[in-house]
Amino acid sequence: MRGFFSPLPASVRKWAHWEYWPAWLANIPVVLFWLWFALRARKLLFFTAVNPAIETGGVLGESKYGILKRIPAAYVPKMLFVKSGTKEVELLRLFGESPLQFPLMAKPDVGERGLLVEKIKNEEQLLRYFRAHPIDVILQEYITYPEEVSVLYYRFPGAERGKITSLCLKKPLTVKGDGQRRVEELMRADLRAALQLSRFRKERPELLAYRPARGEQLVLEYVGNHCKGTTFLDGNALIDERLERVFDEVARQMRGIHYGRFDLKCNSLEDLKAGKNFAILEFNGIAGEPAHVYDPHRPMWKAYRDFYRHWKVIYDLYKAQKRLGVSPASWGETWRTLRYYVRYMRLIKKDKR
């Protein structure tokens, strides 16, 4: 099947690889899993009770900054939260008084799938970002640790120990130079990179004209997001008790949160297991997928099997919360969050254009 697709354009070839399918299509079975457990719970929004400290349990509309503030400060990068409508002179004053330095990462306080996440190298780029995106923004220290991973962890309320069910190792989008072809030509020859070409033509046209030397490994994208070309690899065989104890220590201090995925950078996996030299960039609640399923070598049926198992965990956590008297969010509260989220996403996607 994949050999048949190889001579075709990348936009056609991607259909032979389920990891590239559009989210609305790939998530149809996941929606069915949710509805099955909702039927068993007799509550459509049962999942919101799992992480009562996060808006909708972490499905949509949650504040990234609000969640990061619940993580012990020792484990997160230096940050600055800037409200929408902040004047440029005030922005520069706040930045000057903060411990942040260039380069840094800028990201929307509410967002998903790497939308509007940018590496900011100087004051000019910082001001340009805020002019283009008049929304609440997090400025975050740029972490230089070489390894980026995602860890999906859960812990039942009152339990001392939790469990890691997914460890995803991330490989950034790169091309290897041959001394002859330009970056655009090198990207066109690789499906994963070719799917990013339209974005690069718009955002980084100067890079496409660069001709890397023979053997030069050129990192094209520093944001470790699957939809931006990062390769996700299954690291579940590396999960052990030491790693789980590290996240027991972190999660124990996150009151009202029992399930989610930590996206982080570390010096090495061994350092991470020793509880040192790592920084948590984000935490995703119920919507935090077991990212290892997107390993290119992992068959689709195993991916959906793992999605089902994780929804079973969410259901079991809901039952535990129910026994403690924790109720799901009300329809009114969820509807207000959904309306706000839809308006907000329309705004930032319009700004992106």
Give the pLDDT score at 352: 57
Helical pair 300-323 and 28-41, crossing angle rounded to 10 deg? 30
State residue 122 phi and psi, 5-degree precision. Answer: -160, 175
CATH topology of domain 78-142: Dna Ligase; domain 1 (3.30.1490)
Contacts of 270 (CB under 8 A, 6+ apart): none
Class of domain 13-77+144-172+221-303: alpha beta
Where, residue-wise, is CATH 3.30.1490.20 in the chain? 78-142
Give the pLDDT score at 343: 84
Q: Which helix (H) or strand (E) element contains residue 217? A: strand 217-219
Give the pLDDT score at 351: 54
Chain CA centroid to CA 55, Å: 17
Under 8 Å between Cβ of 232 and 170:
yes
Burial of residue 12, with CB atoms counted within 10 A of its CB: 0-12 exposed, 13-18 middle, 19 or more buried: exposed
Give the pLDDT score at 1: 45
| Beta-sheet pairing, 118-120 with 217-219 | unpaired
Whether this prediction's pTM lies above 0.95 is answered by no
Where, residue-wise, is CATH 3.30.470.20 in the chain? 13-77+144-172+221-303
Terminal-to-terminal C-alpha distance of the chain = 36
Give the pLDDT score at 4: 45
Pairwise CA distance, residues 85 & 104, whole Å: 21
Q: Render 156-203 in DSSP notation, one character per residue.
A: -TT-S--EEEEEEEEE--EEE--SSS-HHHHHHTSHHHHTTHHHHHHH
Query: How many other CB atoms are found less than 10 A from the CB of residue 50?
Result: 28
pLDDT by residue for the chain (353 residues), tens only, comes to 445 445 567 777 788 888 889 888 999 999 999 999 999 999 999 999 999 999 999 998 899 999 999 999 999 999 999 999 999 999 999 999 999 999 999 999 998 877 889 999 999 999 999 999 989 999 999 999 999 999 999 999 999 999 999 999 999 999 999 999 999 999 999 999 999 999 999 989 999 999 999 999 999 988 889 989 999 999 999 999 999 999 999 999 999 999 999 999 999 999 999 999 999 999 999 999 999 999 999 999 999 999 999 999 999 999 999 999 999 998 888 888 888 888 887 777 665 55
Give the pLDDT score at 220: 94
Pairwise CA distance, residues 283 & 49, whole Å: 17
Under 8 Å between Cβ of 117 and 126:
no
Chain CA centroid to CA 37, Å: 25
